């Protein structure tokens, strides 16, 4: 790609960021939803794709830490798909509580935001929002595996948005949104299973729910249920947004009037 083609491509993307794109056929929306379900439900694939959830999870902690006035020190992502976000500030109070609370809701809420953009036919804006968020996370990542993971995910999104056809971009965008929505609940279930396993054996329980239990004096199980409800609600609303836009069928979870298929 020569300089002129590069400039033209950049101008095209800049223009698409402020305009809507043609919505994909409903079959693509359904197929990407099924594919995302496989990525979440099939163990060998989940062990790989869960890295994306970890990035969103730690990004949620990091963003909320900054939002509440805490000092963000580092983000670490590990090959076992665990992660750690370190921030400085009072070890108690609203800022610490909100920061600890933000991890598990982050992936499904991000998926909901992406679904809203896709429901508004803003496919290019959704992809480049992903790139911007990944770049923001990358700044604070402090280990090699974490840097590698974020760069690979970001490079993949960039390649699709820069070189992909409209159909490829739409398929990737809907797959990503469905994945984040569907992946919101499984880590919550895994966390609760881990909590139960630790109760049966000596050792400290140090999940986000248990940290919140110590900070708020509310039962850890209540926080697990809260995380689960957020994930389910985001899936219902986000899935409804994407399906109603693609099919033109008004679903109960989507407010407002739905236009017939092909009418915008």
pLDDT higher than 60, residue 6: yes
Q: Which pLDDT score, from 0 to 100, does residue 12 have?
A: 78
Q: Is residue 29 part of a domain?
A: yes
The answer to whether 235 and 245 have CB atoms below 8 angstroms apart is no
More confident site: 48 or 3:
48
Q: Which pLDDT score, from 0 to 100, does residue 17 have?
A: 87
Q: Is residue 6 part of a domain?
A: no
pLDDT higher than 60, residue 260: no
Q: Is residue 214 part of a domain?
A: yes
Q: Is residue 260 part of a domain?
A: no
Q: Which pLDDT score, from 0 to 100, does residue 76 have?
A: 97
pLDDT higher than 80, residue 252: no
Range of the domain at 168: 21-247
The mean per-residue pLDDT over the stretch 37-50 comes to 97
Average pLDDT score over the chain: 90
Q: pLDDT confidence of 250, banded at 50, 70, 90?
A: low
Alpha-carbon gap, residue 16 to 168, rounded angstroms: 15
Say what the pTM is.
0.90
Place of tokens 């992660």: 83
Q: Which pLDDT score, from 0 to 100, does residue 264 have?
A: 47
Q: Which pLDDT score, from 0 to 100, does residue 16 have?
A: 84
184-229 pLDDT, tens digit per residue, is 999 999 999 988 887 655 555 579 999 999 999 999 999 999 999 9
Q: Is residue 258 part of a domain?
A: no
Place of tokens 């490829």: 168
Q: Is residue 256 part of a domain?
A: no
Q: Is residue 254 part of a domain?
A: no
pLDDT higher than 50, residue 36: yes
More confident site: 58 or 202:
58
Concatenating the DSSP letter of every residue in 24-88 gives: PPHHHHHHHHHHHHHHHHSHHHHHHHHHHHHHHHHHHHHHHHHHTTPEEEEEEE-TTS-EEEEEE
Q: Is residue 195 part of a domain?
A: yes
Give the whole-number percent of the chain exceeding pLDDT 90.
78
111-148 pLDDT, tens digit per residue, is 999 999 999 999 999 999 999 999 999 999 999 999 99
List of residues 6+ apart from 154 with CB closer than 8 A: 131, 134, 135, 138
- Domains identified in the chain, total number: 1
Alpha-carbon gap, residue 10 to 159, rounded angstroms: 13
């Amino acid at each position: 790609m020569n300089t002129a083609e590069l400039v033209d491509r950049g101008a095209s993307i800049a223009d698409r960021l402020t305009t809507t794109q043609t919505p994909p056929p409903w079959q693509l929306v359904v197929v990407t939803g099924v594919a995302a379900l496989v990525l979440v439900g099939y163990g060998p694939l989940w062990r790989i794709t869960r890295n994306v959830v970890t990035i969103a999870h730690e990004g949620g902690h990091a963003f909320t830490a900054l939002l509440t006035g805490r000092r963000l020190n580092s983000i670490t992502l590990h090959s076992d798909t665990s992660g750690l976000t370190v921030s400085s500030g009072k070890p108690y109070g609203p800022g610490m509580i909100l920061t600890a609370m933000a991890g598990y809701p982050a992936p499904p809420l991000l998926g909901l935001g992406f679904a809203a953009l896709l429901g508004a036919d803003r496919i290019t804006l959704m992809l480049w929002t992903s790139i911007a968020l990944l770049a923001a996370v990358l700044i604070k990542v402090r280990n090699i595996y974490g840097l590698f993971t974020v760069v690979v995910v970001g490079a993949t999104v960039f390649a699709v948005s820069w070189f992909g056809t409209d159909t490829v971009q739409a398929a990737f965008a809907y797959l990503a949104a469905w994945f984040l929505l569907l992946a919101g609940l499984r880590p919550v279930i895994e966390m609760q299973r881990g909590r139960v396993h630790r109760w049966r054996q000596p050792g400290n329980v140090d999940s986000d729910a248990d940290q919140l239990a110590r900070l708020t004096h509310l039962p850890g199980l209540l926080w697990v249920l809260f995380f689960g409800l957020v994930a389910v609600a985001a899936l219902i609303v986000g899935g409804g947004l994407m399906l109603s836009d693609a099919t033109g069928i008004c679903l109960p979870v989507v407010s407002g009037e739905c236009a017939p298929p092909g009418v915008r």
